[in-house]
Amino acid sequence: MNRFDGQVALVTGASGGIGAAAAQALAREGAHVILTGRDTKKLETVEQHIFDAGGAATIAPVDLTDGDSIARLANAVAGRWPALDILIHSAAVLPELTSVTDIDQAVLTRALTVNLLATQALIARFDPLLRRSADARLAFLTTSVATQPRAYWGAYAASKAAAEVLIDCYAQEVRNISKVRVAIIDPGATRTAMRARAYPGEDPQTVKPPEVVADRLIAILGEQFASPHRERINHSS
């Protein structure tokens, strides 16, 4: 028996990086994984990897800047499955690193839309499905700059900090009246495209691959953790 046999999981940002690695790890453990992201071709590649390994997945392209698309996604999932057991929210955008005085308002608005407003929309739309699960778990991927602000990271840090507060509040709201448990995970330095954009001079081999984070995520989701659970994944490959 695999840890998540018969369970349904949805992963945002599943077209690459930690999201893709987490989706494949969930599928290996028996979950049927709904892969969401904007790039259909990349989602199809991840889906094929899952199929090749004997797993089950469904792609669901979605633009997190469009609240209506999130609603349509939730309706589609509810029309096919009776409940959602696992939600991993890893999708995020990294705006240009610049001083607070030089932040472009349009860029900040997009960061807030994807990193904050979409987070609230996902919670609102998928809460009913999570509550129908006998063992629902929500994992939100955050960043250290959300709680330890750093110069030139203001736009990203502010958007993720606000989203983290939302997630924590939601965890407190549901923990005594439902079976939904929430984990707030800081993956630490990880070999992703976002990391490469933030640190263009860094040797990617000096930081851990996404699979390390995915393995720890899967382990956490398989545990009876207290909600909200907070953890930073520091170890390397």
* Residues 133, 9 contacting (CB under 8 angstroms): no
Residues in the chain: 237
Q: Is 152 a catalytic residue?
A: no
DSSP 208: B
User: Residues 152, 156, 170, 199: which is the catalytic one?
Assistant: 156
**Pick from 38, 80, 34: which is nearest to 57 by CA?**
34
* Residues 11, 27 contacting (CB under 8 angstroms): no
Number of helices followed by number of strands (H, E) in the chain: 8, 7
- Cβ-based neighbours of 56, under 8 Å, separated by 6 or more: 27, 31, 32, 33, 50
* Residues 57, 79 contacting (CB under 8 angstroms): no
- Cβ-based neighbours of 98, under 8 Å, separated by 6 or more: 104, 152, 155
Task: Give the long-range contacts of residues 68-76, CB within 8 A, separation 24 or more.
Answer: 70/118, 70/121, 70/122, 70/125, 71/121, 71/125, 73/36, 73/125, 74/125, 74/126, 74/129
In a 13 Å sphere around the CA of 213, the CA atoms on its Cβ side amount to 30
Q: Which residues are catalytic?
A: 156
